[in-house]
Amino acid sequence: MPTLPTLPPALDEAALQQFTAGLTSQQLVWLSGYLYGQAAQGAAGISGAVPTAALAAPAVAPATQKITILYGSHTGNGKKIAEQAAAAAVTRGLAAEVRDMNDYAPRQLAQEQNLLVIVSTHGEGDPPISAEELHQFINGPRAPKLPKLRYAVLALGDKSYLHYCQTGKDFDHKLAELGGTRLLDRVDVDVAFKAPAEQWVAAVLDVLAGPVGGASAGVGIASTASVGAEIAPITTEYTHENPWSAKVLDSIQLNGRGSDKETYHIELDLAGAGLHYAPGDALAVVPVNHNPLVEEVLQAARLSDTAPVQLGDESLPLAAALASRRELTVLTRDVLERYAALAPHAELHGLLADSARLQPYLYGRDVADLLTDFPTDQLTAQALADTLRPLPSRAYSIASSLLTHPDEVHLTVSAVRYEAHGRRKHGVCSSFLADRVAVGDDARVYVQQNEYFRLPPAGDTDIIMVGAGTGVAPFRAFVEERVELGNTGRNWLLFGNPHFTTDFLYQAEWQQHLKRGGLAQLDVAFSRDQAQKVYVQDRLLENSRDVFGWLENGAHFYVCGDKTRLGHAVHTALIQVVEKEAGLSADDATAYVKNLRKQRRYLEDVY
Ligand SMILES: Cc1cc2nc3c(=O)[nH]c(=O)nc-3n(C[C@H](O)[C@H](O)[C@H](O)COP(=O)(O)OP(=O)(O)OC[C@H]3O[C@@H](n4cnc5c(N)ncnc54)[C@H](O)[C@@H]3O)c2cc1C
Ligand SMILES: Cc1cc2nc3c(=O)[nH]c(=O)nc-3n(C[C@H](O)[C@H](O)[C@H](O)COP(=O)(O)O)c2cc1C
């Protein structure tokens, strides 16, 4: 730390000028960062807010030092932020290296001095696949002490999940436990991550390189706003804030009459969008709430539909804000917390204090239920708008290849409908696509890349695709793409759904592919067509010799569909296949499958 003169007792501008007059530029930079950290410390710890506290770390480091930006990402959000952070770091004179956790040797951690960790959470509070090994390493017995490490964590997540930003929290706690020093408090960002992520990047670079403008920027007045202007925006061409309005070209119910399922094949027009996607990507759809639900919420809140509310710079009538800007179908803990501050019911506070009761309360209840269960006279239109979450988009695996359908994107959407707590309910986005956009209407969309669910780079590699229900969607894209490219690798599809007659999604297309060689093998599991239930994992076990043979021949193995029912069952079945066919112990077979994951040959898209 540079040696500074004694601070004058009265701090006015003249005194400050006098105090700083003899300082070198390095001392000024150090001081500005120090004061920024001190000023920010008061508001620290607000999850999702701008990072504020420059904790124990020295506030500013020499501007030439190297930083490693390590990301663990599944759908690409974290990767994008890491790349933007690196670009911004370079403009601040820092040498920044971006590393994917998947390709990062865990032992290298011991060499790091300045580390930015950007990591999302997937599954049910699990690390993304690419972060699994590093996550395990820092939590294991081989984790090194990290006394030289200064780090900051940006945790990406979604508040509708029970374990919000869990992986980021794990990294943050563990790195501190191993001796690392936080450059900033961890920041947790929800689905609307763009602005807080940009602010986090700006703030962490302030600490590492000094505020923008360095010494000439003046003492201690770094503002994240001024820094933000210098950072390239974290955005792709089409985003949640700037989606493409895609015309609906077709919408077809795929299930036959009498099915319990309601699945739609939806074709959207991309002509003129310049929007590209690869097989494996998902399309994010920005939905609009169902008007009857907006009415129910207004009634339960006893508020006028025309009451004005302010959302950022925009003033809107409450009904319009509820229809298109606020999440109404799903309740999350943070909404209940904010609402409890307005409606201080003892029972509501009791729920918030007891996760075992909170989760069952949240499941199947919507905003109208909350307002009815815990009424209050204190609610204004603005307070309601401020209490609810911004309405997030929903992702749908893309079911088409651009090579087969230039300028189009196809989806396979299951309509979510259920009865709960005395009312019929409809999932906001699936019912928007199923009921509220007709052919000729527009749906607002953008691409969500999925780099961890890609076709093999070599066209002669075999692929095994396991999908149930709408999980078949990306495999339609895979097979179309491979057929168009003339790939010689074999394609094997295992598909499951309840009934052959009503639920064999894209049956005619699969049969054509079988006939023409686009599919080498097709195995189906119609669970309810016989007394004993049969699922895709049973088909894997029945075909264990071929499955193992294909894997040994270098095949890539893909799973898509329901996270709880399919993902785990298929993983277990594959381990059993390896155990049986390779004659391995359960542990060794587990390691074999784990290694497939590591090599990106076992790829999951489960939701
Ligand atoms: C990468 C990815 C790819 C995906 N691909 C597809 C796809 O190809 N096709 C597809 O259809 N979906 C897909 N999904 C799921 C999709 O994103 C949405 O989650 C799904 O459509 C539901 O959204 P919604 O807005 O209709 O429902 P929401 O408004 O989000 O309502 C869902 C909520 O309703 C409640 N709920 C639902 N059922 C019940 C019930 N029976 N009882 C009580 N409560 C209930 C639960 O609280 C649940 O969280 C994918 C998801 C991801 C992350
Ligand atoms: C299948 C799935 C499971 C998820 N599980 C969680 C979770 O348990 N907790 C959480 O906070 N966020 C969860 N998320 C949200 C992601 O962390 C969030 O979308 C994040 O922005 C993704 O960043 P990435 O693209 O870098 O992976 C989940 C997302 C998906 C698609």
Question: Per the domain annotation, does 4 fall within a domain?
Answer: no
Ligand showing the shortest atom-to-Cα distance for residue 76? 2
CA of 71, closest atom in ligand 2: 26
* C-beta of 73 in contact with ligand 2 (< 6 A): yes
Ligand showing the shortest atom-to-Cα distance for residue 289? 1
Q: How far is the CA of 163 from the centre of ligand 2 (A)?
A: 10
The residue segments making up the domain with residue 381 are 291-387
Same domain, 397 and 329: no
Judged by DSSP in three states, 223 sits in coil
Determine the Cα–Cα distance for residues 390 and 386; give it in Å rounded to an integer: 9
Cβ of 284: how many Cβ atoms within 10 Å?
22
Q: How far is the CA of 157 from the centre of ligand 2 (A)?
A: 5
Cα 315 to chain centroid distance, Å, stands at 29
CATH of the domain at 362: 1.20.990.10
Strands 187-189 and 423-426: unpaired
Q: Contact, 73 vs 128, CB < 8 A? A: yes
CATH of the domain at 481: 3.40.50.80
Same domain, 307 and 356: yes
β partners of residue 116: 69, 152
Same domain, 255 and 185: no
Q: Contact, 234 vs 80, CB < 8 A? A: yes
CATH of the domain at 208: 3.40.50.360
Determine the Cα–Cα distance for residues 507 and 522; give it in Å rounded to an integer: 11
Judged by DSSP in three states, 308 sits in strand
Tell me what pLDDT residue 192 has: 87
Q: Contact, 199 vs 228, CB < 8 A? A: yes
Same domain, 82 and 218: yes
Question: Per the domain annotation, does 455 fall within a domain?
Answer: no
Determine the Cα–Cα distance for residues 149 and 13; give it in Å rounded to an integer: 37
Residue with CA closest to ligand 2 atom 6: 122
- Residue whose structure tokens are 């027009």: 269
Q: How far is the CA of 395 from the centre of ligand 1 (A)?
A: 9
Question: Per the domain annotation, does 456 fall within a domain?
Answer: no
Q: For the chain, what is the domain count?
A: 4
Determine the Cα–Cα distance for residues 189 and 193; give it in Å rounded to an integer: 5
Q: Pick from 362, 387, 412: which residue ends a domain?
A: 387
Pocket test for ligand 2, best of 69, 77, 100, 156 (most atoms within 8 A of CB): 156
Q: How far is the CA of 257 from the centre of ligand 2 (A)?
A: 35
Ligand 1 environment, Cβ below 6 A? 282, 329-330, 363-364, 394-397, 412-414, 416, 418, 420, 427-431, 470, 473, 605, 607
Tell me what pLDDT residue 221 has: 24
Same domain, 48 and 116: yes
Tell me what pLDDT residue 518 has: 98
CA of 431, closest atom in ligand 1: 26
Same domain, 193 and 311: no
* C-beta of 214 in contact with ligand 2 (< 6 A): no
Q: How far is the CA of 427 from the centre of ligand 1 (A)?
A: 7
Question: Per the domain annotation, does 458 fall within a domain?
Answer: no
Same domain, 172 and 281: no
Determine the Cα–Cα distance for residues 563 and 149; give it in Å rounded to an integer: 36
Instruction: Tell me which H or E stretch contains 447.
Output: strand 442-448
Question: Per the domain annotation, does 484 fall within a domain?
Answer: yes
Residue with CA closest to ligand 1 atom 28: 427
Same domain, 590 and 467: yes
Tell me what pLDDT residue 162 has: 83
Judged by DSSP in three states, 55 sits in coil
Q: Pick from 364, 387, 410: which residue ends a domain?
A: 387
* C-beta of 158 in contact with ligand 2 (< 6 A): yes
Q: Pick from 231, 260, 276: which residue ends a domain?
A: 231
Determine the Cα–Cα distance for residues 604 and 599; give it in Å rounded to an integer: 13
Q: How far is the CA of 75 from the centre of ligand 2 (A)?
A: 8
Tell me what pLDDT residue 585 has: 98
* C-beta of 333 in contact with ligand 2 (< 6 A): no
Q: Tens digit of pLDDT for each residue in 563-588?
A: 888 999 999 999 999 999 999 999 99
Determine the Cα–Cα distance for residues 133 and 104; give it in Å rounded to an integer: 9
Determine the Cα–Cα distance for residues 480 and 399; give it in Å rounded to an integer: 9
User: Any idea what the Cα angle at residue 169 is, between residues 164 and 175, rounded to 5°?
Assistant: 170
* C-beta of 77 in contact with ligand 2 (< 6 A): yes
Question: Per the domain annotation, does 153 fall within a domain?
Answer: yes
CA of 191, closest atom in ligand 2: 21
Question: Per the domain annotation, does 313 fall within a domain?
Answer: yes
Same domain, 24 and 136: yes
Same domain, 370 and 435: no
pTM of the model: 0.81
* C-beta of 397 in contact with ligand 2 (< 6 A): no
DSSP 5-36: PPPPSS--HHHHHHHHTT--HHHHHHHHHHHH
CATH of the domain at 433: 2.40.30.10
* C-beta of 121 in contact with ligand 2 (< 6 A): yes
Tell me what pLDDT residue 64 has: 59
CA of 473, closest atom in ligand 1: 8
Residue with CA closest to ligand 2 atom 4: 122
Question: Per the domain annotation, does 361 fall within a domain?
Answer: yes
Go through the chain and tell me how many residues it has.
607
Same domain, 441 and 475: no
* C-beta of 74 in contact with ligand 2 (< 6 A): yes
Tell me what pLDDT residue 211 has: 73
Residues of the chain with pLDDT under 50: 1-10, 24-30, 32-63, 214-236
Same domain, 268 and 368: no
The Cβ-side half-sphere exposure at 342, using a 13 Å CA radius, reads: 22
